[in-house]
Amino acid sequence: MQRQERAAEAKVADILVRLGLSDAAQTDVRSLPYGHRKLVDLGRALLMDIRFLLLDEPIAGLNDAEISRLREILIGLRRELDLGILVVEHNMSFVSELCDRLVVLDLGRLIANGPPAEVLADSRVMSSYLGEALDA
């Protein structure tokens, strides 16, 4: 049992490093700032040896610095762990920098699907999520 415990502790330590939470390892989660608690939630998912991660509005309530940090962490996890990530998010800047492919729905209907630059240039996406084009 001790070998399993050491392996589990090593795995937790690795995840804490990946998420930049090593300094908070002994801190009660309830006393952590909101952005750190969201990273703890991500760490809990990673402990399960997942191959695919579903995130529902992961940047809700985060400030710009926390959003940037989370984006970089997710990009690193995707690359280092070959992790598939599905993100449900309304912040187009966040998803366009994070994702290889965007699927955009409007009232449950597919309106665009493809590479971020292509999808963000779609007039239906602009109208639904980014506001009407200035020249319209």
Average pLDDT over residues 107-118: 94
**DSSP output for 46-108:** HTTT-SEEEEESTTTT--HHHHHHHHHHHHHHHHHHT-EEEEE-S-HHHHHHH-S-EEEEETT
Q: Are 49 and 107 in contact (CB under 8 A)?
A: no
Average pLDDT over residues 93-112: 92
> pTM of the prediction?
0.84
CATH of domain 2-86: 3.40.50.300
Lowest mean pLDDT among 31-35, 98-102, 124-128: 124-128
Domain ranges of the chain: 2-86, 100-136
Over residues 36-47, the pLDDT tens digits come to 999 999 999 999
Residue 133 has pLDDT above 70, yes or no: no
Over residues 54-89, the pLDDT tens digits come to 999 999 999 999 999 999 999 999 999 999 999 999
